[in-house]
Structure 1
Amino acid sequence: MSGARERILGRLRSPTPASSGAPASEADVTLGKRIDAHYAQWRALGDASPAARVDAFETALTAAHAEVIRASAGEWPAQLARSIANAGVRRLLLDTRRAEGAALAAALPAAVEPVAFARPIETWKAELFDTVEAGFTVARSGIAATGTLIVCPDRGSPRTMSLAPPLHIALVYAETLHRDLHEAMQVERWRDGMPTNLVLVSGPSKTSDIQQTLAYGAHGPRRLWVVIVTDEVHSHGAQR
């Protein structure tokens, strides 16, 4: 046991290839090849058309009990606003400093109040959890193979917006869909500097007990709507 302990401590104390400038070890190369091989199972999506990636994305989301809305850039605000009103939502968290948040706020009927996350949570926690039925966020990108949203919370759209309300509504642009996590990391160059808080969302919050009885909403939203904007390239995420 002491020999194993010393070997582990010795590896921790030794300089890493990145810090010493030494080439990667055979084990590191082998691990990299195993990771590449794992993600190769979705390689067909790498050459798929944008429409095929959207289809795969929607299939995976639906399997995870999310609800999907496909819409064009010009139609999604009105289409989503109608769905929100029909669902009985009366207070909606969103960031109107984003172009998408402003567009949705303008399309909401009078019965739905847009609410900004502009106060410290300590000052309105009860109000947030008791009266806000939904939160709207814009995903940075998505993963077609697994139906996963890549969300990068910021000051205007903190993690609470997608976590506290019982309904999380996320908008994602079709052209941002990656084949898999491996491709997302490479294309977005995460190694060059990941955001401090990058969240992967695959379906509504769910958990199970010791009898494997599945329950939704125990640790987050019970429902997830994903709006896929399917047409031309956008300058999404722009601030007003």
Structure 2
Amino acid sequence: MSARDTILRRLRERTDGPLSAPESDFAVVTHRGWSAEERLERFERLITSVHGEVLHVTRDDWTQALAQLLSDKGVNRLALGREHPVAAEARAALADAEVELVDVDRAIESWQREQFDRVDAGLTSVRGAIAETGSLWLWPTPDEPRRLSLVPPLHVAVLDADTIEDTFFDVVEAHDWAGGMPTNALLISGPSKTADIEQTLAYGVHGPRELVVLVRHPKGA
């Protein structure tokens, strides 16, 4: 009998019942008790510390801020979805702008080189953010595939201020990741970065060189 078979036999022949998971205390990863203002401050401080940019806008003027950002960054071709309200509002606002809007709802094989060589920026919505780590979290969809935030040299993410939560654990619990997590959940904490053996940090080697987060606030906030 192999060692594997011996271990399995012992497990099957247990006389004191099935094994059960020990009680776990998750207090260390939740219950921060931060206010909305504290969550926003922590998120912004952490994501800007790793070269992310944050622009504060309102839900009424965010598309004007987007148009100005694209102009300032010299963006000529912007990739974005169609169905999500963020993409739909951006398309309407940029219809007459000097920016070519690139459709992403195509088979990857038909425009693989185009997206790597000719797209200047990608625009995405986000599901929320994490104050403790300064991270965005995204659930890619066919309308906003994961490459939209991972391939273009500039990633523009639109975040509603009231969707920032304290910790990663709070996000997982509040949004039932265990019951419905997608296969491509993304956590983004700044632009792409890597370090060589000498610990020299470089940005944009394997993805976007720049990340700009448009934080949307209610009008008058």
Q: TM-score, normalised by structure 1?
A: 0.81
What 5-or-longer segments of structure 2 have no aligned partner? none
1:167 corresponds to which letter in structure 2? L
Matches within 5 A, 1:1-240: 10=7, 14=11, 24-25=20-21, 28-29=22-23, 32-33=24-25, 36-40=26-30, 43-44=31-32, 47-108=33-94, 110-231=97-218
C-alpha distance in 2 between matches for 1:118 and 1:188: 26
Given that residues 153 and 207 in structure 2 are in contact (C-alpha distance below 8 angstroms), is that contact kept between their aligned partners in structure 1? Answer: yes
2:20 corresponds to which letter in structure 1? A
Q: Give how far 1:216 is off.
A: 0.7
Q: CA RMSD in A?
A: 2.5
What 5-or-longer segments of structure 1 have no aligned partner? 16-20, 233-240
2:205 corresponds to which letter in structure 1? A
C-alpha distance in 2 between matches for 1:10 and 1:153: 41
Q: Give how far 1:222 is off.
A: 0.8
In the superposition, relative to structure 1, how do residues 178 and 23 fare at CA in structure 2: closer, same or farther (>3 Å)? farther
Given that residues 81 and 105 in structure 2 are in contact (C-alpha distance below 8 angstroms), is that contact kept between their aligned partners in structure 1? Answer: no
1:198 corresponds to which letter in structure 2? A
2:144 corresponds to which letter in structure 1? S
Q: TM-score, normalised by structure 2?
A: 0.87
Structure 1 or 2: more helix by fraction: 1
Given that residues 78 and 104 in structure 1 are in contact (C-alpha distance below 8 angstroms), is that contact kept between their aligned partners in structure 2? Answer: no
C-alpha distance in 1 between matches for 2:141 and 2:11: 37
Given that residues 70 and 229 in structure 1 are in contact (C-alpha distance below 8 angstroms), is that contact kept between their aligned partners in structure 2? Answer: yes
C-alpha distance in 2 between matches for 1:70 and 1:222: 21
Given that residues 46 and 133 in structure 2 are in contact (C-alpha distance below 8 angstroms), is that contact kept between their aligned partners in structure 1? Answer: yes
Identity of aligned residues (%): 39
Name the SS for the 2:171 alignment partner.
Answer: helix
1:10 corresponds to which letter in structure 2? I
